[in-house]
């Protein structure tokens, strides 16, 4: 496979296992155990562009009180054309996962 796949969590490139599940490739990183899936041809829903960056996005739930807790992460493809601001925010906060634009139950 000529495409280099890196773990979005730990940047591992060697110990990646993949299994095809229909159109989507399910990937597992043996280095850190992160699992994600890769759409072979992800497209931006706004502009249809293919310059997408796989960012780690936080799955957030409201915990006790007013605290928001991160319950997991998933890969979210950010368009390098339409989501420049979101991408910049993501890179600025790395290695923290991208927080959703709208927090559940946030004021
Ligand atoms: Zn990894
Ligand atoms: Zn776009």
The position carrying tokens 């790395």 is: 94
Considering the domain architecture, whether residues 56 and 92 belong to the same structural domain is answered as yes
Asked if 44 contacts 78 with a C-beta cutoff of 8 angstroms, the reply is no
Shared domain for 54 and 95, answered yes or no, is: yes
Name the pairing type of β-strands 68-79 and 52-62: antiparallel
Give me the domain span that covers residue 27: 1-40
**Does residue 105 lie in a domain region?**
no
Residue 35 and residue 81 in one domain:
no
Mean pLDDT of the chain: 85
Best CA proximity match to 78, nearest among 88, 92, 69: 88
Whose atoms come closest to the Cα of 47: which ligand? 2
Ligand 2 midpoint to CA 93 (Å): 22
Write the pLDDT tens digit of every residue in 19-35.
887 777 889 999 999 99
* pLDDT confidence of residue 3: 61
Measure 90 CA to ligand 2 centroid, in angstroms. Answer: 16
Do 95 and 66 fall within a single domain?
yes
Q: Residue 60: how many CB atoms within 10 A of its CB? A: 19
75 with 89, same domain: the answer is yes
Give 28 Cα–ligand 1 centroid separation in angstroms.
8
Question: Three-state DSSP class for 64?
Answer: coil
pTM: 0.62
Ligand nearest to the CA of 10: 1
Question: Is residue 32 within 8 Å of residue 10, measured between CB atoms?
Answer: yes
């Amino acid at each position: 496979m000529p495409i280099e796949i890196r773990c979005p969590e730990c940047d591992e490139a060697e110990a990646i296992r993949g299994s095809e599940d229909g159109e989507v490739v399910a990937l597992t990183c043996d280095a850190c155990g992160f699992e994600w899936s890769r759409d072979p041809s992800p497209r931006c829903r706004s502009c249809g562009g293919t310059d997408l960056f796989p960012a780690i996005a936080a799955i957030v739930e409201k915990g006790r009180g007013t605290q928001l807790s991160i319950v997991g992460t998933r890969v979210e493809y950010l368009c390098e054309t339409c989501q420049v601001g979101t991408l910049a925010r993501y890179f600025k906060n790395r290695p923290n996962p991208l927080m959703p634009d709208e927090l559940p139950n946030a004021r």
